Amino acid sequence: MVSASINMTVSNPAIQPPAAIVYVGVSAQLDITLQNETGGAITFNAGASPSKLTIFMPSFYTATQLQQMQVNLASWNYSYSSSQQALILTYAGASGQTWNSEATLAFSITSATSTNTPTSDTIQINPTNMTGNVPIQVSAPLSLNNAPQPGNATLPLQVWLDAQGSVYVSQQGDPLQNTLFLNFKNTSNNPLWTGTTLWTGNPQVIVSFVYGNSSGALAPDSDKSSPQTGSAWKISGAVSISQGNDWQVTNPSNSAEYPHPFWTLTPANNNIGIIGTGANANLSFDFSQIVSCTPPGATQMVVQFTGFKKDAQTLYNDAVFVLNISKQNPPPTRGLLNFFSEQSPLVTVNSPTQAININLKWTMFNVASVTLICSFPGVAPITISYPNFQPLGYDTTTITLPGTPENTAVFFTLQAFSGKGVYLNSLQYTVFITAQIFVDPRDGKEYPTLQVNNTLWMTTNLDWNATGSSVYNDDSNNEATYGRLYTAALAKQVPVGWRLPSQTDWNNLIAAYTSSTDSTAAYKALVAGGSSGFNAQLGGSENTQKEYSDLGCKGYYWTSSDENSSDTYYAQFSAASQSITTQAVYPTNYLISVRYVKDIS
């Protein structure tokens, strides 16, 4: 398949770094660059049938707004066509002028202002009356965002495509269906919506592609009224893996007013957190029935987030992610094409009994069965058969690994077979498990942990049987839940690599779970049974007269911050007020609970 391509890029120089984004109500300059990648020179014609560049702007510009735009390019005349609602550049230079291979043609569109609601669309340019291997049209995405505002938050998200966004192109009459997997990950310690009541407004994610027949486009969209195989209108979006996050996908309708297809992803109206944390921090969508009868090359998916709020008082700035898609020729032989996971290959466990779920995906070409082999002890091989397999197939499975107290690499080997059981090929995927578990070298006891920002915290109370420590009320039944109680001096006897948290450490921990709308949020999250997994215990205290108090009512934890030689600050969890304070001190010979921390990079 020979590529006739003109590569088109769009950027707004007022945004740093420059990007294909304009803001609602803000006049913008759009810098357009066209690069000749057709493999040969293109000749411009003058005279009665001059060369033209017909520019169709995104549908979020009205006819009035289009008429206000200006385009300047040396040797070209600019005009506006009201019948086409298009900007026209007409060549006015010497006939026979050439646009050499790999050379660029650059111009700017000024006074581009839209007052529409945020959305994404494309700029399409149709070159005509030129001599050479010229494509019918080229296009590039442009997103309309709300302008960033002081005080707004930044969306704490990672957005990516599985398998580097690979798509196999098809020959006419031999369609290969592809699926792209789009993933979101919440990278913060809090859900995307941190308010205590249900969010309001219209948060949505708008997904679009680059459309056309060139190597820089995924698929054409010019057959809206009657989409054929290979049309962008045929692509179907759906929720793939929700991980506790209820979302919906609205696919484009070719009966709607919009000239280009886009997919709208929205949280369900009962999805309080929008995207959660921990095991619920990931969300995946699949875009299937992609048939690309275009030349191999690079194209893009545009993912626009708009209308999201952090809480009732704080908005998130709109965000646009441009994800690369690699269009490739299909493989010449049968077998596995990709083997990957939507998760990071670096897995952290914080407890020796924590089960580890590894979600694996693969793409394959004319495969009848696969066998998956795992190197982790006790995990048996599994075989999956495909009695009615498609030429291009996809599948997924989840392998659950038992807990481990050690750092280890786990190797997954996927083998492909034909219908006669003949081995085709194999691919391997490796997961590296980091066990962030504190093993006390003094007695070998293991403690689970929790990472908050760059600090690792124990999530159970210290239970080192040091001389001078005690168990609440001298009752051994209390030790399993509350650990032991220590003086400040004993608390500061910490194994190498760990330390006693300072007053600042405790304040930073509390701040990570504080909400502007709920004064008790940090207590609820950090106390035993709370959403954070920190599991602070209300283990009480022992004074110098060996009097015990406050079990089940208050939890006290030493800090490393001394007020003076005889008094040290502590962190207090109070069930009555559902609060956490760090401003009070105890005499250093009082006995209270201890947690250690470790700094990580």
Confidence of residue 309 (pLDDT cuts 50, 70, 90): very high
**Tens-digit pLDDT profile for residues 342-379:** 888 988 888 888 899 999 999 999 899 999 999 999 99
Tokens linked to 111: 């006074």
Res. 25: pLDDT tops 70: yes
pLDDT at position 1: 41
Q: Quick check: helix, strand or coil at residue 364? A: strand
At residue 466's C-alpha, the angle toward residues 460 and 467, to 5°, is 150
What is the distance between the alpha carbons of residues 492 and 499, in angstroms, rounded to a whole number?
Answer: 8
Residue 553 near residue 540 (C-beta atoms within 8 A):
yes
Residue 255: exposure state from Cβ atoms within 10 A (0-12, 13-18, ≥19): exposed
Residue 2 has pLDDT above 50, yes or no: no
Tell me which fold the domain 335-435 belongs to.
Immunoglobulin-like (2.60.40)
- C-alpha 370/C-alpha 431 separation (Å) is 20
Distance CA 118, CA 123 (A): 16
Buried b / exposed e over 466-483, threshold 16 CB at 10 Å, is eeebbbbeeeeebeeebb
Q: Which of 9, 216, 6, 7 is nearest to 108 (CA)?
A: 9
Q: Are 591 and 469 in contact (CB under 8 A)?
A: yes
Residue 516 scores a pLDDT above 70: yes
What's the rounded Cα separation, in Å, for the pair 70 and 33?
16
Which part of the chain has CATH 2.60.40.680?
148-330
List where CATH 2.60.40.2550 sits in the chain.
335-435
Cis peptide before 17 (omega within 30 of 0): yes
- Taking residues 549-564, what's their average pLDDT? 97
The percent of residues in the chain predicted with pLDDT above 70, rounded, is 99
Beta bridge partners of 325: 299
If one counts every other C-beta atom within 10 angstroms of the C-beta of residue 64, the result is 7
**CATH node for 1-145:** 2.60.40.10
If residue 282 lies in a helix (H) or strand (E), which one and from where to where?
A: strand 282-290
> What pLDDT, on the 0 to 100 scale, is given for residue 23?
97
**Quick check: helix, strand or coil at residue 530?**
coil
What pLDDT is stored for residue 4 in this prediction? 61
% of the chain with per-residue pLDDT over 90: 82
- Per-residue pLDDT averaged across 404-433, rounded? 93
Q: What are phi and psi of 91, to 5 degrees?
A: -65, 130
- pLDDT tens digit string along 111-136? 999 999 999 999 999 999 999 999 88
Residues carrying CATH 2.60.40.10, the chain? 1-145
Is this prediction's pTM over 0.85? no
pLDDT in tens, 202-252: 999 999 999 988 888 999 998 998 999 999 999 999 999 888 889 999 999
Greatest C-alpha distance within the chain: 106
Domain 148-330: assigned CATH number: 2.60.40.680
